[in-house]
Amino acid sequence: MTVYVTGDIHGGLDMQKLRDWELGDSLGSDDYLIIAGDFGFPWDFSAEECADIAWMESRPYTVLFVDGNHERFDHWAERPMEPWHGGLTQRLSDTSSIRRLMRGEVFELDGKTVFI
C-alpha cells in the first residue's frame, strides 16, 4: 500500500495534473490518493465535470479527500455518513469510490494511522 497526497484540484480547474501524473497509472487497488483540501467536486454536474468524476472513479487506486474552503458544502450536508477504516466518511454518490474523510476522524490504512 502506498499513500500519495496532493491538494487543490478545485473541481475541473486543476484536473490535468492528475491526468498527467504518470505514476498514477502504475498504482493498484490497495493504493490511495488523498487530496488535502479544495477537491471541489461536485460543483455543477456539467458533462465535463461528470467525465472528470468518472475518470477518477475508474482509477485503480482509491481517491480520498479532506475538504477545504472550495467545496460544495450543500451537497455534502445531504450525503450520509459511513464508517470506513475506523473513521467516518461520505461518498460522492451512493455508488462512488471517492470518499470525503471527515475532519477529526482517525483512519487505519493498511497498518498506518491517519488523523484528519
* Contact assessment for residue 35 and residue 64, using Cβ atoms and an 8 Å cutoff: yes
Backbone angles phi, psi at 51, to 5 degrees: -65, -40
Provide the domain count of the chain: 1
Closest by alpha carbon to 59, among 93, 32, 37, 80?
32
DSSP labels, 80-108? PPEEETTEEEEESSTT-S-EEEPTT-EEE
Q: How confident is the model at residue 12 (pLDDT cuts 50, 70, 90)?
A: confident
Model pLDDT for residues 49-106, shown as the tens digit of each residue: 999 999 999 999 999 999 998 899 999 999 999 999 999 999 999 999 999 999 999 9
**Domain assignment of residue 48, given as a range:** 3-115
